[in-house]
Structure 1
Amino acid sequence: MVIEIVSRNRLKIAFVSAISALAGAANIWLLALINRNAQLQDAQRGVAEFAVALGSMVLVSFLSQILLSRLSAATFYKLREQLVSGIANLSSQQIEAVGSARLYTALTKDIPAVHELIIVLPNYVFNFTVVAACLVYLCLMSVQLFLIFLGFLLLALGVAKFAIADRAEKRFQLRRKIEDDLFRCYSALIDGNKELKLNRARETGFVHSDLKAHAEKYRDATLSAEFFWNMSNNWSSAMIFIGIGALLFLAPVLGQGSRAPVLNYIIVIFYMVGPLTILMNSFRTVYAARVGLQKLKDLDLDTRPRPLASGVDGAEPFATLSLRGLAFEYGATEDGRDGFRVGPLDLEIQRGEIVYFVGGNGSGKTTAAKLVTGLYEKRAGSLLVNGREVVADERYFQNFSAVFQDYYLFETLVPKLGGLPQTEEVDALIARLRLSEKVSLQDGRLSTTKLSYGQRKRLALLVAYFDNSGIYVFDEWAADQDPEFREFFYKEFLFDLKRLGKTVIVVSHDDRYFHLADKVVKFESGRIVSVVDNHSRELGQAQPREALRA
């Protein structure tokens, strides 16, 4: 992802770097003029050249900064876009496995760290040019003094890099690892605010134990890393001044009787200290970017753009959905036990049917619903639409709309076949959901989603309805609704969809309404143990089915 973006912008980065190098060269030109004219009795002759050098430095520096700002903004935008694309390409199952904390920290920490390195590269080129030109200038002034100073400089940089800064990097790697856990705690603090407020003991234990422990680890890792960074910077500065002192005291020994060349030499070194310090501090940026790159690499995201599905236009109308030996297995638990397995599942669902998935908690009915929608990737078996196996998930997804228990409520109504729903039709359903005093539709957008839990869930029903999908999945939708809306859901809303030719899959515990379903599919321990066809029952042909053998 990052390498691709850098490669794509390599000419721009090289051009901005070249401009930065010219700005650095102009700085050295200006410094050389100052040194030369400081030794002349009549410096008036150098005014024009000084003015040209100064103007060149200002102009080129300003140009490099403008180009750098444009490059950095475009690069940051592209990095974020690539990461968002990669996250969007993840399946629901993969997002659950990765965890939202890692994805949020990738967006807020890793991408900015990599971006920071990219945008400061031209600045490093500028400062490196200044340092390199200063070293060449110093060498031309006196080879003997240059060798003395260079020896101290290389010693300072070598110790700063290998003995100190590398240790700091390990601390920053540890800190970045802690950030994922710390972010999970922050999310729990915000999302679980109500539960914490209602249980003071839990709040105290969480805030002063879990969250505090991760915060202390983060603090300690930061202090340790900063200790080594500060040691590196101070060591390098000290070695530079030791080198200057050595020049002052060794100059007479080396035959430098006049102090003027030595002082000019020291002026150049002092000028070089600023750019050199920036280069030494670059270790922090480089290491942070390396950690960010590794974290992004560990996510293993597919950032290739995928064509956006534009509804189900042109597709053969849905008639049947078949599950043939469909199976899924969760990964092993932290204590080493095998994950829960669902399947093999065999089931036939016809267009216009209302199908209930029933069974106890943990029986696999919700997992089966996610398998049917394609949100979970099957481990075995086949999904067939109209007798043909599903091969393109993006296209297959467009058959479905769903309200799972962990639903997200969007504010817009977006029919899959395009256009906007009729306001009158939306208002009519809002009224049936008893939300007219709370919500209205404005240009395809709901006026608010800040409602009570039950009202938000009814609103989610409305949003899903106007998707105008072929198959609807509702996961325990009525479990926490008032009796009035439970009756509305089972006896009115589902049959409204059926009359429109929609297929409905309902995950439910409400056995009082099982007789309303066309099929009741019972799950136990991840298996289908019976399928009752109520149409057949009406004809005296109930068809229970024993659990399939593994």
Structure 2
Amino acid sequence: MNLLKYLYQRSSYLLILACVCAIFGGLASAALVKVIAGGITGSVQGADFALSFFGLCIVVLVARTSSQISILHLTQNAVMDMRISLSKKLMDSPYKKLQELGKPGLLVILTKDIDAFTSALQAVPRILTEGIVIVACFSYLAWLSLPLFGLLTLTLVVCLVAFNKAQRYPFHHLRLVRTKMDNLYQHFRDLVEGSRELQLNKQRGRAFVDQVIAPDAKQFRDIYIRGFSAYTWISNVGDILFYIAIGILLFVVPLWLPQSPAVLTSVTLVLLYLIGPISSMINAVPSLGQASIALRRIQQLDNTLSEQLMVLDRPNPFKHKSSCLIELDAVSHHYPGKTDDSKFLLGPVSLRVEAGEILFIVGGNGSGKTTLAMLLLGLYMPESGCVRMNGASVTEENIEHYRQNFSAVFSDFYLFEHLLGVAPETIMAQSAHYLDKLHMTHKVKVVDGRFSTIDLSAGQKKRLALVGAYLEDRSIYLFDEWAADQDPAFKRVFYTELLPELKARGKTVIVISHDDAYFGCADRIIKLADGNVDAPAVQQHAAVLHAV
């Protein structure tokens, strides 16, 4: 019912059309059984039999095909809308929220769950048709013999109640299978991304497979087998019960409830015909159960993302600003914030980033540089204190507008092949300049708004990410350890040519760096230690720069 409700909400017209066609197909199938039974018993003969038989065959063909095509359009439109909607909500959700949800869980929902949902929906027309066939055939049975109809209906009700209770056990295992899938996706992601490290240590690699992947894979297998084995037993027992019902009808019922041979023949034929539709519906239950679980997870994600969506339809207090002054007033933030023992506290930090300056943020590993960068970029909201731009406070209502002033290249950057969100004339005019500066023209060209290749080394990819950031032409640039894996020549170009070029264009540049040989390129340096600004270090660096 949950699946039908979802489809009805997507397009009531297509669902009703599919149901109407399924009803006609089911009634025609049931009528086909009646005609065949009449032909066997001799009540229908000659041209009438031929016309009825072949006419009903055409009706079944057209009705079933129309129902399936209607559902095909409906389901694919629904899945397309679901994918696009989730993608937009992922884009509009707070970054920290996405971190909490985790990449493996999100990927399972966006791939496996949506695929399971799509596959199960393809069975909806068949289930609707088979349901109508069952109802129509039982109506025909009632017309043939009310006592036999009552007996068979009672048997079917008992079987349905028993099936409903019996399928709770395998359905519980299907939910466990879905939970285990998240764990396996996490392990497979670790395996792929850490393959180099694991291959360098054979013992460690085998231990990862044997002690991490294998236990969860075995649990997944055992739960899956238990669940679907139970469904297999339920399905096969249901089939055998129908044969038993036919045997009772032929050998037991006539002893105390005499029926004419023609009636018994017709009822037996109908029951034999019903074995296929009922078996088909029972076999569809596992996939429908998986689809129901998948839809629930998809809707949970949709609701979770909807709770904290950021909007751009609010007034933009940062619009039309030629320069951007950023102020952090006693800002603090915990990371990752799951337990008190694991929390890292940044702050309280008070900081002023002047418009048009080159600011270096330095400090040891774990000092809070990246967390501070995320706060400056608006990817994290401060837990206390305030961030302001040109005097306007950054809030949850306007943070999306605030972010549009930044472009960044992170230490764990992701390189997109397409140069999106950049005017074509800007790409053509400036991309060649930056590719030449970074000595990439022999490797990469920009063709039709995309890099000709991104199959490059890590350092070369980072240079392309820098080109993409430059082309965005934002007011503020942040580079997180950009030069860490670059050759000395490219470090020199970055610090002594590209950063001054950005400053000359009026851009504010924030650089997280360990390259003390280039600290003289900064207008100002702040040093973080244990989540706080190290004031003496700032004064010391300022004195050095003043002397230079």
What TM-score results when the alignment is normalised by the length of structure 1? 0.91
Aligned to 1:52: 55
Aligned to 1:395: 401
Aligned to 1:427: 432
Aligned to 2:364: 360
8 A Cα contact 2:17 2:67, kept in partner: no
Equivalent position to 1:445, from 447, 450, 473: 450
Aligned to 2:149: 146
The one-letter amino acid of 2:162's match is: V
Equivalent position to 2:135, from 121, 132, 138: 132
Aligned to 2:417: 411
Provide the rounded CA distance (Å) in 1 between the counterparts of 2:404 and 2:310.
Answer: 18
Q: For the structure 1 residues 67 and 415, does the alpha-carbon distance in structure 2 shift closer, same or farther, using more than 3 Å as the test?
A: closer
Q: For the structure 1 residues 540 and 474, does the alpha-carbon distance in structure 2 shift closer, same or farther, using more than 3 Å as the test?
A: closer
8 A Cα contact 1:85 1:305, kept in partner: no
CA drift of 1:321 comes to 1.1
Provide the rounded CA distance (Å) in 1 between the counterparts of 2:447 and 2:257.
Answer: 87
RMSD, matched Cα = 2.8
Aligned to 1:548: none
Aligned to 1:498: 503
Q: For the structure 1 residues 66 and 188, does the alpha-carbon distance in structure 2 shift closer, same or farther, using more than 3 Å as the test?
A: same
Which deviates more, 406-415 or 269-278?
Answer: 406-415
Q: For the structure 1 residues 190 and 539, does the alpha-carbon distance in structure 2 shift closer, same or farther, using more than 3 Å as the test?
A: closer
Which deviates more, 223-232 or 273-282?
Answer: 273-282
Provide the rounded CA distance (Å) in 2 between the counterparts of 1:193 and 1:308.
Answer: 45
CA drift of 1:96 comes to 1.6
Aligned-partner SS, 2:123: helix
Provide the rounded CA distance (Å) in 1 between the counterparts of 2:133 and 2:7.
Answer: 28
CA drift of 1:6 comes to 4.1
CA drift of 1:64 comes to 1.7
Q: For the structure 1 residues 55 and 6, does the alpha-carbon distance in structure 2 shift closer, same or farther, using more than 3 Å as the test?
A: closer
CA drift of 1:314 comes to 5.6
Map 1:132-281 → 2, pairs under 5 A: 132-163=135-166, 165-256=167-258, 258-281=260-283
Aligned-partner SS, 1:435: coil
8 A Cα contact 2:525 2:542, kept in partner: no
Aligned to 1:70: 73
Question: Share of identical aligned residues, percent?
Answer: 31
The one-letter amino acid of 1:342's match is: L
Aligned length: 538
Which deviates more, 485-494 or 297-306?
Answer: 297-306
Where does the alignment leave 5 or more consecutive residues of structure 2 unmatched? none
Q: For the structure 1 residues 42 and 122, does the alpha-carbon distance in structure 2 shift closer, same or farther, using more than 3 Å as the test?
A: closer
Q: For the structure 1 residues 241 and 49, does the alpha-carbon distance in structure 2 shift closer, same or farther, using more than 3 Å as the test?
A: closer
Which deviates more, 406-415 or 474-483?
Answer: 406-415
Provide the rounded CA distance (Å) in 1 between the counterparts of 2:270 and 2:310.
Answer: 52
Q: For the structure 1 residues 490 and 533, does the alpha-carbon distance in structure 2 shift closer, same or farther, using more than 3 Å as the test?
A: farther
Provide the rounded CA distance (Å) in 1 between the counterparts of 2:482 and 2:509.
Answer: 13
Q: For the structure 1 residues 523 and 4, does the alpha-carbon distance in structure 2 shift closer, same or farther, using more than 3 Å as the test?
A: farther
Aligned to 1:546: none
Provide the rounded CA distance (Å) in 2 between the counterparts of 1:41 and 1:423.
Answer: 82
Q: For the structure 1 residues 116 and 423, does the alpha-carbon distance in structure 2 shift closer, same or farther, using more than 3 Å as the test?
A: closer
Which deviations, in whole Å up to 9, do the C-alpha atoms of 1:476-532 show, x marking residues without a partner?
111222222222222222111111111011111222322321121121221223284
8 A Cα contact 1:130 1:275, kept in partner: yes
8 A Cα contact 2:330 2:385, kept in partner: yes
Q: For the structure 1 residues 196 and 400, does the alpha-carbon distance in structure 2 shift closer, same or farther, using more than 3 Å as the test?
A: same
Provide the rounded CA distance (Å) in 1 between the counterparts of 2:317 and 2:53.
Answer: 71
Q: For the structure 1 residues 136 and 41, does the alpha-carbon distance in structure 2 shift closer, same or farther, using more than 3 Å as the test?
A: closer
Provide the rounded CA distance (Å) in 1 between the counterparts of 2:364 and 2:76.
Answer: 53
Q: For the structure 1 residues 384 and 212, does the alpha-carbon distance in structure 2 shift closer, same or farther, using more than 3 Å as the test?
A: same
Which deviations, in whole Å up to 9, do the C-alpha atoms of 1:205-226 show, x marking residues without a partner?
1122211222111111111111
8 A Cα contact 1:327 1:379, kept in partner: yes
CA drift of 1:315 comes to 2.6
Where does the alignment leave 5 or more consecutive residues of structure 1 unmatched? 543-550
Which deviates more, 482-491 or 401-410?
Answer: 482-491
The one-letter amino acid of 2:355's match is: R
Aligned-partner SS, 1:348: strand
Q: For the structure 1 residues 5 and 201, does the alpha-carbon distance in structure 2 shift closer, same or farther, using more than 3 Å as the test?
A: same
CA drift of 1:171 comes to 1.0
Q: For the structure 1 residues 37 and 540, does the alpha-carbon distance in structure 2 shift closer, same or farther, using more than 3 Å as the test?
A: closer
What TM-score results when the alignment is normalised by the length of structure 2? 0.91
Which deviations, in whole Å up to 9, do the C-alpha atoms of 1:261-296 show, x marking residues without a partner?
212101001111111112222321232122213322
Provide the rounded CA distance (Å) in 2 between the counterparts of 1:76 and 1:305.
Answer: 24
Equivalent position to 1:350, from 345, 348, 354: 354
Provide the rounded CA distance (Å) in 1 between the counterparts of 2:165 and 2:499.
Answer: 69
Provide the rounded CA distance (Å) in 2 between the counterparts of 1:248 and 1:98.
Answer: 60
Aligned to 2:324: 319
